[in-house]
């Protein structure tokens, strides 16, 4: 995926010549999505479906939020399985992820999520859910799919980037919106503002956006226990918001001697990675990237690259549990 154009994230970017030129296509995109939703019958699975989605294109933290929800469901006695479209992979599914799969087959996010719970790649979400239930799922976590009308959702979390908001407020391709934010909000049972860090304060109209819907705040907590903070580092990544990764490293006090950003889900080539490692050595630095990027790096090169592990934290975990519990089946008795 290419890097999103800068006018997408500019609040006034909807008035740029490029956005204005793309406006008719944005209108067609919106009409097409509404027609699809109107004429698609949602399939209802025999087990509850919990969706984690967003209203904008690009990364907002759906994958780590999904992993966090999976862990909380497991702590509640559930056996969640995760369904992913497997963006960037060649497999259509339904296919259950194993440690032998590669990112080019199933995508990077499913491989990362498989550390938390069983994961299925399935472009047809309902088919993936049905297979997961056959193999023991008590509930289904839908990573993305908020705009997919083919599967009934029993509960939906709508994630919003607390820093970027809705970008220039215009629909794709003139802007980052998949649909009108108000339409998305009206289908959600919980709005989650994802902050760049714990102390970031959400203010203004964005804070009031949720209206009477339950609101949570979430952020990524990094784990630096396995890293040498006295060393120099050369940071690189191909994620939705690469600058946030760099800013996090700097906020944690890491000495960055270089940085390189790529488009989200960038497929790294071996020669490209060796050039990055050489550039890091030239700066007397250690190459460092995200755990998601590591899924796209060949096993033989991973030992030369450091990663910054992160996990999602939510401000009111007890509220999250109380919200989803009513839609869940009673936990199975342990044998």
Q: What's the pLDDT score for residue 329?
A: 85
Run of H or E residues at 215? strand 214-222
pTM attached to this predicted model: 0.92
Within a domain: residue 295?
yes
Per-residue confidence (pLDDT) for residue 334, from 0 to 100: 54
- Over residues 28-85, the pLDDT tens digits come to 999 998 898 888 999 999 999 999 999 998 779 999 999 999 999 999 999 999 999 9
Residues 6 or more apart whose Cβ sits within 8 Å of residue 282 = none
3-state DSSP call for residue 232? Answer: strand
Task: Give me the domain span that covers residue 269.
Answer: 232-308
Residue 260 and residue 176 share a domain? no
114 falls within a domain: yes
Q: What is the mean pLDDT of the chain?
A: 93
Locus of tokens 């799969």: 101
Residues 293 and 321 in one domain: no
CATH of residue 84's domain is: 3.40.50.300
CATH of the domain at 257: 3.40.50
d(CA 219, CA 206): 16
Q: Using the predicted structure, report yes or no on whether residue 331 has a pLDDT greater than 80.
A: no
Residues 318 and 277 in one domain: no
Q: Classify 317 as helix, strand or coil.
A: helix
Percent of the chain residues past pLDDT 90, beyond the cut: 83
Residue 275 pLDDT: 96
pLDDT of the residue at 333: 55
Tell me 39's DSSP state. H
180 and 242 in a single domain? The answer is no
Strands ordered across the beta sheet of 155-161: 95-96, 119-121, 80-84, 139-143, 49-54, 155-161, 190-195, 214-222, 310-314
Domain identity same for 165 and 75: yes
14 in a structural domain:
no
Q: What is the pLDDT of residues 139-196, one digit of tens each?
A: 999 999 899 999 999 999 999 999 989 999 999 999 999 999 999 999 999 999 999 9
Phi and psi dihedrals of 273, rounded to 5?
A: -70, -40
Rg (CA), the chain: 20
Q: What is the pLDDT of residue 335?
A: 44
Please tell me whether residues 241 and 198 are part of one structural domain.
Answer: no
Residue-wise pLDDT tens digits, 244-269: 999 999 999 999 999 999 988 999 99
Cβ-Cβ contacts under 8 Å for 13 (sequence gap 6 or more): 6, 7, 19, 167, 168, 170, 175
**DSSP type of residue 58:** S
Tens of pLDDT, residues 265-309: 999 999 999 999 999 999 999 999 999 999 999 999 999 999 999
Note whether 145 and 258 are same-domain residues.
Answer: no
Q: Are residues 260 and 164 in the same domain?
A: no
Query: How many structural domains are present in the chain?
Result: 2
Co-location of 90 and 216 in the same domain: yes
Phi and psi for 118 in degrees, rounded to 5? -60, 135
């Amino acid at each position: 995926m290419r890097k999103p154009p800068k006018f997408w994230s500019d609040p006034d970017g909807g008035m740029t010549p490029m956005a204005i030129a793309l406006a008719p296509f944005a209108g067609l995109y919106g009409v097409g999505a509404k027609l699809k939703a109107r004429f698609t019958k949602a399939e209802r699975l025999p087990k509850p479906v919990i969706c984690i989605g967003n209203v904008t294109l690009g990364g907002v933290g759906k994958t780590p939020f999904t992993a966090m929800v999976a862990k909380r469901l497991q702590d509640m006695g559930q056996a969640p399985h995760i369904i992913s479209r497997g963006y960037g992979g060649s497999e259509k599914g339904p296919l259950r992820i194993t440690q032998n799969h590669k990112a080019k087959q199933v995508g990077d996010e499913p491989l990362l999520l498989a550390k938390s719970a069983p994961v299925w790649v399935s472009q047809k979400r309902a088919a993936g859910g049905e297979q997961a239930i056959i193999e023991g799922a008590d509930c289904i976590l839908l990573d993305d799919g908020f705009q997919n009308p083919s599967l009934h959702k029993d509960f939906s979390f709508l994630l919003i980037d607390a820093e970027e908001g809705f970008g220039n407020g215009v629909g794709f391709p003139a802007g980052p919106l998949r649909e009108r934010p108000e339409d998305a909000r009206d289908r959600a049972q919980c709005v989650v503002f994802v902050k760049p860090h714990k102390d970031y304060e959400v203010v203004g109209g964005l804070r009031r956006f949720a209206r009477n819907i339950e609101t949570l705040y979430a952020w990524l907590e990094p784990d630096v226990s396995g890293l040498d903070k006295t060393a120099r580092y050369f940071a690189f990544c191909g994620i939705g918001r690469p600058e946030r990764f760099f800013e996090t490293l700097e906020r944690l006090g890491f000495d960055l001697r270089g940085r390189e950003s790529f488009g989200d889900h960038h497929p790294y080539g071996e020669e490209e990675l060796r050039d990055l490692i050489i550039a890091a050595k030239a700066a007397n630095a250690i190459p460092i990237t995200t755990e998601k990027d590591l899924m796209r790096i060949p096993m033989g090169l991973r030992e030369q690259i450091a990663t910054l592990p992160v996990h999602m934290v939510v401000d009111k975990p007890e509220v999250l549990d109380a919200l989803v519990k009513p839609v869940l089946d009673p936990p199975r008795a342990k044998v």
